[in-house]
Amino acid sequence: MGYICFAADVYGKGVRGDELGDNAYLMGPMTADRRLLRRRLLAGFDAATRFPGVDAHRMAVADSLLRHVVKAFPLV
């Protein structure tokens, strides 16, 4: 049994922070608009379900930020 790993880019194409700096400003617009953050994170989650070999019913979320967002905005 293997594992598939997926990382979602919630900041958008071409948006990059400083490798050694504080990049909290990148999250600012999304912490101010939690629904925007939720849409982007769930879009990444949805994209991951379409990878070959992925069982959408057996996926796990390994990022604490997404767990908090899903908890705040339940899927069901």
Q: What ranges do the domains of the chain cover?
A: 1-76
Give CA–CA dist 13/61, Å, rounded.
22
73 is written with which tokens?
A: 């905005």
- Average of pLDDT values for 36-61? 84
31 is written with which tokens?
A: 């912490």
Split at pLDDT 50, 70, 90, the class of 28 is confident
**Full-prediction pTM beyond 0.75?**
no
Give CA–CA dist 40/18, Å, rounded.
21
Q: What is the pLDDT of residues 51-62, one digit of tens each?
A: 888 888 887 766
* Distance set, CA 56 to CA 39, 46, 49 (Å): 18, 9, 5
